[in-house]
Chain A
Amino acid sequence: MSERSKEKESKRSQASQMPADMQITVSGGARRLPVYLLLDTSGSMAGAPIESVRLGLEQFAREVKSDPTARDAVHVGLITFGGEANFVTHGLVAFDSFQPPSLSAGGETPLGQAFYLLIESLDKDIKTSVKGGTKGDWKPLVFILTDGKPTDQWREPRDEILKRQKNKVLNIITVGCGPFVNQQNLVDIAGNDGISFNVGNDERSFSQYFKWVSQTVISRTRTISQTGGDNKPIETPPPPGSQFIP
């Protein structure tokens, strides 16, 4: 066999024998999607409504855990406000570690206190990307469930949060529940760039609301993975039976 033929044969042989897969070190970190749930646990939620919220939280936990993309990305911060505001999860926790707490209702509606807890967490817990360091977080989602009747000074911390929304560093969704929802307050809380709607206060309404939260979160983890995806508006339609507040 000539040298040229041997060379051709060698190349053909190499082409047909694919070596083992490439072994390349890749990043062990992942971007987190912070999801804050601010839940009204004031006296007006006593009885069936707070039990429905608890069941709804469990449903939310189940549904997000069942989605592999969301389960890895979502980190939850749960803040309740009834009597006083309480950061139940003490910051953001990985979804695998999230256990829905038992909830009780009572007291007034300290939404302002809840906002201050949220601001503190946004400052302390949200990570920005550092080249050579770790990946930063995606834009946080903030869901606020309330009857829209806060009883403390809430506008100042709300303005601070809205400033951040204007700088496009978070997305706010407010949801009103109960028969005496103050719709104007809901809109004021969410600001011009937020979303507000009204659900009922029966068990079915809460279940549908939390299902909607799960769908929105799961859908978000899919869109943000694409280039420019974090800029997409939230497109999940509001829960059935709910009323969008313009």
Chain B
Amino acid sequence: MNRPFARGDPLPTTLAYSHTDKRRCSATLGRYHIVSASARGKLHVSNNTPRDDAIAIRAEGEWLAVAVADGVGSRQHSRYGAAFTVNQLCSRLIEAVGTTEKESKHDITLDAFLKTRLDLQQFALKSGASLNDLACTLLGMVLNIDTGVLVIGQIGDGLVLGLTETQEALPLIEFPIPDELGATYVLTQDTWARYFRSVRLSGDDARRFVTFYMMTDGVADDCLYGPPADILQRWANDMDREIRLVPNNAVTARRLERYLATYEAKGSFDDRTLVVIFKDKADRGF
């Protein structure tokens, strides 16, 4: 019987909560290992402003929920929006999978995102902030560790990636890019549902993946665009190798946190957040 757990940035209850400069966490659930980290970007370090990214992981029974969010830098309280939504989304996803069976599991993520947004509105009201002040992107997934069923939802930029046992890296969800240069969609905009995307993988479809990655734009930008032309494949395989190097998840999370805080890439100044979920490569079945 798997014990429930919660990891990551805590749920803020007021706007006085202290959002740390970095965060790392790790866990094991059944055959799956979860390693994650979030680090303040160079721009925030040089401006002496807080990290705007957030991360949450939650497990209950055979279900694992993971979420990452990136607060809009120009909004006053966006880091609270990010920390609040990742926690609420994980809770709402776990709650949704525990309710009556729906015909299509696609409903799970849309419902969960909708409820998370409503929760955020309540938080804004209670805190005396406007919803726009809490603007953030939001990515979330829920995985059944017994059947392998995986459901993913996304609003705004970032990336959810799978690495197959044949070492092929595949984006798992296509998200719309705004026409306006440099813009992104956020959960707090009125038209968010129009730009929300979700995808469901059956256990059979998900079986071929040995590793899943979920990341905010600060990391996605450095692995989606070249040079080199095969940057995504290289990045995913390099990360998979490094994540498996030390058979100790806590040590690996520390390495990942240090990596995210220090790696150099031209023009890469944003906060960096990455969750890696992987199973032993010898493990083929469920």
Contact = CB atoms under 8 A, between A and B. Distances in A.
Contact of B224 (A128, A131, A224): A131
Given A24-B259, A25-B234, A224 B226 contact: no
Top-7 shortest CB links A-B? A230-B182, A226-B73, A30-B267, A30-B266, A25-B234, A225-B269, A228-B72
Contacts of A228: 72-75, 135, 182-184, 186
Nearest to A135: B225
Given A29-B227, A29-B266, A225-B43, A137 B181 contact: yes
A231 interface: yes
B265 interface: yes
Interface of A: 11, 14-15, 18-19, 21-31, 69, 72-73, 128-139, 167-169, 222-232
A14 B248 contact: yes
Interface stretch (B100-108, B109-117, B239-247): B239-247
Nearest to A225: B269
Contact of A19 (B224, B245, B267): B245
Chain A interface main SS type: loop
Interface string B235-267: 100110010011110110011101100111111
B281 to A, nearest CB: 19
Interface of B: 41, 43, 46-47, 52, 70-75, 135-137, 156-157, 171, 177, 179-184, 186, 217, 221-229, 231-232, 234-235, 238-239, 242, 245-248, 250-251, 254-256, 258-259, 262-270
Contacts of A69: 269
A27 B226 contact: yes
A26 B236 CA distance: 10
Contacts of B184: 227-228
A116 to B, nearest CB: 22
B225 A134 contact: yes
A229 B182 CA distance: 7
Chain B interface main SS type: loop
A134 B227 contact: yes
Contact of A222 (B43, B157, B256, B265): B43
A69 B270 CA distance: 12
A133 B225 contact: yes
A70 B276 CA distance: 33
B73 A229 contact: yes
A69 B238 CA distance: 27
Nearest to B225: A135
A129 B182 contact: no
Contacts of A137: 181
B263 A227 contact: no
A231 B258 contact: no
A34 to B, nearest CB: 10
A10 to B, nearest CB: 9
A227 B262 CA distance: 20
Contact of A132 (B71, B229, B250, B267): B229
A14 B247 CA distance: 9
Given A22-B242, A24-B235, A227-B73, A139 B226 contact: no
A136 B182 CA distance: 9
A26 B73 contact: no
Given A69-B269, A139-B181, A228-B186, A23 B225 contact: no
A226 B74 contact: yes
B52 A27 contact: no
Contacts of A232: 74
A28 B229 CA distance: 10
26 contacts: A15-B248, A18-B255, A19-B255, A23-B238, A24-B238, A26-B231, A27-B221, A27-B226, A27-B227, A28-B227, A30-B268, A72-B267, A73-B267, A131-B224, A132-B225, A132-B226, A132-B232, A137-B181, A222-B47, A222-B269, A225-B267, A226-B74, A227-B270, A229-B182, A230-B182, A231-B183
Contacts of A131: 171, 224-225
| Interface core residue of B182, B222, B226 (most chain A CB under 10 Å) | B182
B259 A230 contact: no
B262 A26 contact: no
A26 B256 CA distance: 14
Nearest to A232: B74
B181 A28 contact: no
B182 A25 contact: no
A226 B43 contact: yes
Nearest to A230: B182
B229 to A, nearest CB: 7
Contact of B255 (A21, A25, A27, A130): A21
